[in-house]
Amino acid sequence: MAYIMVDVESDGPIPGDYSMITFGAVLVNEQLDTTFYGKLRPISEQYIPEALAVSGFSREETLQFEDPREVMLQFDQWLKAVCKDRPIFISDNNGFDWMFICWYFHHFIGKNPFGFSSQNLGSLYKGLERDTFRNFKHLRKTKHTHHPVDDAKGNAEALLQLKNEFGIKMKL
């Protein structure tokens, strides 16, 4: 199974009422050179300007982005191309990122290739360190820019660092 590190930027706190604006995914391997980037047209009239501002795009720009169904179909095809079997979803805030990706997959193409579960990088780190107050973010090499591919890559770097430091068994 292949680990896919995902990061989402949105214009509000929940899917449906608000929109996923961009997302990035990185196949977790030593090279971290297999990525996906999606820019999705809003699905709702509602948005929170401060939330949208994090993405770096204006509302007018997002209205020119791709049809969400097409982006999710492209992401599904990308996953099939880079994963030999079921992909494993992992992110640094899987409660948020998973919520959007899962909802968009089911809403727009009727299935989620990740299945029904996700992994949380922060929780993994806390467990390895045996300290619920520890934070993994110092392990990133790529700067956290809120461009979702950069952020997913930085998180994937942290996961690889954990794999090496703690001897985590992962098929890459």
Instruction: Give residue 160's Cα distance to chain centre.
Output: 16
d(CA 73, CA 95): 22
Residue with tokens 């299935």: 111
106 assigned to active site: no
Catalytic one of 107, 138, 146, 147:
146
Q: Which H or E element spans position 24?
A: strand 20-27
With b for 16 or more beta-carbon neighbours within 10 A and e for fewer, the 122-149 pattern comes to bebbbeeeeeeeeebeebbebeeeebbb
State how far the Cα of 143 lies from the Cα of 6, in Å rounded to an integer: 16
Q: Are 8 and 23 spatial neighbours (Cβ–Cβ below 8 Å)?
A: yes
Which residues carry out catalysis?
146
